[in-house]
């Protein structure tokens, strides 16, 4: 029997300004010091609707070790400069549906972590924030597994990332069977990015051979503007290269039309279908193109 939890319209407001200031100007470990506003743990057949969350000290909502979850018509807001205020955090959960939500925070609108399986995200308005992120995965040499994720019909406004997969060097496991489709990017800094060399550390991360394998990823029907010159970035591991990456009907232009958007590809096996602009180029090929442009300019 499905348990149905409905909130009409209800608002959680957290007085977080002081905590945000402390986190920004101290050596606190934010994920250990500040609470998550709302956590669902080990739930089955959960339905949550018509809820507003505002100004959480850190993550607004976390879904952990759950199955058969439906989240719909949620409004989650925090200032764009508020640190680590993810909208919806999903980990170790399966058969989760997130639909018709507006998320405006200072971190990932939706963060998809280890153990996520059969996740469907649709009709999301995201921004400001860090976009829709799978990961980070494989930190501190850990194993991580994410499979069967579909992100459909998302509009991103002014986010630092759009469709993102991020993994640490030295990890193990996989992120596979992932679809980002029907997405509009409006002045997004990194519209499409796979980063197997993610490093969120004050000191440079050491190069390592092992990595979380990234495969069977489709970016389809994605259009809009990039706030940076690099609209597509496929930065994969030399030891465990990305493979099965597909770009289909992708058109990203530079915001304001001042120049041409570019893309890079490193250690990734990819294919295209339909129109893809800009097309990823391997670093050595981009060097050749730059020389040619200089000679004939």
Catalytic residues: 107, 130
Cα 29 from Cα 34, distance rounded (Å): 9
| CA proximity to 175, closest of 244, 266, 265 | 244
> Cα 43 from chain centroid?
24
Q: Which residue has the tokens 């500040």?
A: 34
Whether 210 and 167 have beta carbons less than 8 Å apart is answered as no
Whether 44 and 71 have beta carbons less than 8 Å apart is answered as no
Q: Give the bridge partners for 53, in sequence order.
A: 12, 76
């Amino acid at each position: 029997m499905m348990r149905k939890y409905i909130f009409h319209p209800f608002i959680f407001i957290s007085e977080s300004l002081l905590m945000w200031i402390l986190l920004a100007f101290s050596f606190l470990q934010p994920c250990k010091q500040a609470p998550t506003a709302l956590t669902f743990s080990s739930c089955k057949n959960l339905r949550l609707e018509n809820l507003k969350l505002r100004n959480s000290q850190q993550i607004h909502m976390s879904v952990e070790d759950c199955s058969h979850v439906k989240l719909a018509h949620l409004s989650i807001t925090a200032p764009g400069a508020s640190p680590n205020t993810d909208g919806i955090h999903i980990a170790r959960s399966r058969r989760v549906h997130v639909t018709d939500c507006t998320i405006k925070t200072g971190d990932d609108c939706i963060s998809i972590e280890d153990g996520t399986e059969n996740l469907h995200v649709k009709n999301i308005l995201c921004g400001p924030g860090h976009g829709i992120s799978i990961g980070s995965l494989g930190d501190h040499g850990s194993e991580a597994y994410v499979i069967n994720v579909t992100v459909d019909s998302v509009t991103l406004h002014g986010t630092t990332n759009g469709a993102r997969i991020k993994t640490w060097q030295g990890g193990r496991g996989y992120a596979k069977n992932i679809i980002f489709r029907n997405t509009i990017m409006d002045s997004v800094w990194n519209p499409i990015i796979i980063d197997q060399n993610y490093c969120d550390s004050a000191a440079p991360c050491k190069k390592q051979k092992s990595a979380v394998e990234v495969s069977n990823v489709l970016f389809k029907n994605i259009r809009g503007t990039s706030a940076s010159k690099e609209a597509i970035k496929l930065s994969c591991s030399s030891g465990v290269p990305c493979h099965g990456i597909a770009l289909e009907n992708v058109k990203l232009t530079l915001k304001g039309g001042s120049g041409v958007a570019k893309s890079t590809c490193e250690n990734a096996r990819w294919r295209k279908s339909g129109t893809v602009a800009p097309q990823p180029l391997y670093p050595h090929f981009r060097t050749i193109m730059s020389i040619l442009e200089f000679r004939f300019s």
